């Protein structure tokens, strides 16, 4: 899954918490593309996250928020919109030497606030650290409850056929359930059955 939220990338370790004044959370700019790629692809090289290209990050740069200290980008995360009601928190990563400062927590809080500012009803994520997200107000949900569009990036994941990530969701508006049920009904009615390629029957050489 493209979010690839694992303990290795976001969970804070025990240690001295840095002063919030030392860090600044802001929306990403084009000049942040290089550091974002370095952070994400550094984890991708270890098989922890999916790699991203410069083109992909450039196209999605408006989704990203970053956290910086002393002019250095030490964390990133993205809020990707799927419907007028729901978005995904993904591409969340924190520099190895910044995990005693709660950077992952601050990024999630910022992305959730952004989702609220856009009047989203809910946000979801795919993660291996569900307990961490539960502390952030998320609840585990069935994958089938999410919009089908949320699976469009899965096809390039090596675990596409055996995904073991956990889907979690945080409801921001109580009326979300009503909107979501209506959208699911529309989405399911709009499905188009793709043709299945049949094996070619080739003549056997004699």
The verdict on residue 197 lying in a domain is: no
The verdict on residue 16 lying in a domain is: yes
Q: Residue 143: its pLDDT value, please? A: 72
Greater confidence (166 vs 73) lies with 73
- Contact criterion met (CB below 8 Å) for 68 and 35: no
Domain count of the chain? 1
The verdict on residue 53 lying in a domain is: yes
* Sequence-separated (6 or more) residues with CB below 8 Å from residue 56: none
The verdict on residue 139 lying in a domain is: yes
80: Cα within 13 Å, side-chain hemisphere: 24
The verdict on residue 96 lying in a domain is: yes
CATH of the domain at 123: 3.40.630.30
The verdict on residue 156 lying in a domain is: yes
Which value, to the nearest 10 degrees, does the dihedral of the CA atoms of residues 164, 166, 2, 152 take? Answer: 90
Euclidean distance between CA atoms 158 and 154, whole angstroms: 9
Q: What is the pLDDT of residues 123-173, one digit of tens each?
A: 999 888 888 899 999 999 887 667 655 555 555 555 554 456 788 999 998
pTM exceeding the 0.85 threshold for the entire prediction: no
For the chain, the C-alpha Rg in angstroms (whole number) is 19
* Sequence-separated (6 or more) residues with CB below 8 Å from residue 105: 12, 136
The span from the first CA to the last CA of the chain, in angstroms, equals 47
The verdict on residue 1 lying in a domain is: no
Euclidean distance between CA atoms 50 and 3, whole angstroms: 8
CA 163-47-86 angle, to 5 degrees, is 50
% pLDDT > 70, the chain: 64
Greater confidence (159 vs 122) lies with 122
Euclidean distance between CA atoms 111 and 103, whole angstroms: 12
- Domain housing 59: 7-189
| Other beta carbons less than 10 A from residue 113's beta carbon | 14
Euclidean distance between CA atoms 44 and 41, whole angstroms: 4
Q: Residue 129: its pLDDT value, please? A: 84
And the tokens for 178?
A: 């009503």
The dihedral built from the CA positions of residue 95, 101, 104 and 107, taken in this order, carries a sign that is negative
The verdict on residue 195 lying in a domain is: no
């Amino acid at each position: 899954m493209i979010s690839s939220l694992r303990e290795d990338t976001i969970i804070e370790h025990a240690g001295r918490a840095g002063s919030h004044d030392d860090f600044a959370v802001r929306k990403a700019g084009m000049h942040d593309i290089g550091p974002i790629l370095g952070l994400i692809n550094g984890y991708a090289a270890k098989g922890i996250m999916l790699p991203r290209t410069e083109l992909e990050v450039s196209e999605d740069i408006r989704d990203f928020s970053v956290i910086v200290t002393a002019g250095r980008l030490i964390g990133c995360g993205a809020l990707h919109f799927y419907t007028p009601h729901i978005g995904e928190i993904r591409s969340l990563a924190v520099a190895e030497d910044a995990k005693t400062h709660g950077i992952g927590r601050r990024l999630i809080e910022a992305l959730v606030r952004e989702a609220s500012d856009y009047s989203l009803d809910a946000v979801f994520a795919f993660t291996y650290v569900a307990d961490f997200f539960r502390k952030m107000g998320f609840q585990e949900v069935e994958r089938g409850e999410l919009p089908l569009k949320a699976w469009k990036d899965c096809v390039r994941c090596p675990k596409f056929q055996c995904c073991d990530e956990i889907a979690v969701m945080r409801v921001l508006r109580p009326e979300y359930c009503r909107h979501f049920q209506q959208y699911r009904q529309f989405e399911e009615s709009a499905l188009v059955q793709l043709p299945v390629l049949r094996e070619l029957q080739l003549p056997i050489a004699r």
